[in-house]
Structure 1
Amino acid sequence: MSEPTSTYQPQQYGMEQRTNTLAIIALVGSFFISLVGIICGHLALNQIKQTGEKGRGLALAGLIIGYIGLVVGILYVVFAVILVANS
């Protein structure tokens, strides 16, 4: 009598995907310096597209907050120049 052969295969666990570092920097930096959020956000999106890392939402949030901050800053400067010119 032959013994049944075992086809035991250990279960393989995939490595947990890392969150892109530039995406984190984009989000945090966008609250302090808008250009940091914009530049790092674009770089992070490109890296995420190539590597498949996590953090796309963080990069997008950094971009959005960075662009909003940039627009608000430009509007502030324009209104300040208008106020100084009119006084």
Structure 2
Amino acid sequence: MSSPQYQGYAPAPAAAKTNGLAIAALVSSFFISLLGIILGHIALNQIKTTGEGGRGLAIAALVIGYVSIALAVILIVGVMGSAAANR
């Protein structure tokens, strides 16, 4: 009488590698918004084709980059409008 073979658990699936450009996009979006936007779009395209992780990082970089540029434009228009009103 032989005992049944214990098979154990299946190994845990490997964690998806995070896209390097997504990380770079997020970091750069705090300093150079336009670079964060460009890298974020490239990272999203790479993530779509390779299946890597980091989609949330790339989207966060895009949001931060676009909001920063929008705030800068609003600030510049406001300052110019204020200067024109004081003439």
- The bucket for the TM-score relative to the shorter chain is 0.7 to 0.9
Question: Following the alignment from structure 1 to structure 2, what is the Cα–Cα distance between the partners of residues 33 and 79?
Answer: 22
Please name the residue that 1:42 is paired with: 41
RMSD: 1.8
1:59 is the counterpart of 2:73: no
The list of structure 1 runs, each at least 4 consecutive aligned residues, that deviate by more than 2 angstroms after superposition, is 11-17
Q: Which runs of 5+ in 2 are unaligned?
A: 1-6
Q: Which residue of 1 aligns with 2:17?
A: 18
How far apart, CA to CA, are the structure 2 residues paired with 1:16 and 1:83? 53
Amino-acid identity (%): 51
Unaligned 5+ runs, structure 1: 1-7
- What is aligned with 2:85? 86
> Aligned partners of 1:54, 1:79: CA distance in 2, in Å?
40
Query: Normalising to structure 1: TM-score of the pair?
Result: 0.80
TM-score between both structures, scaled by the size of structure 2:
0.80
Give the length in aligned residue pairs. Answer: 79
State the one-letter code of the partner of 2:23: I
Letter in 2 for 1:77: I
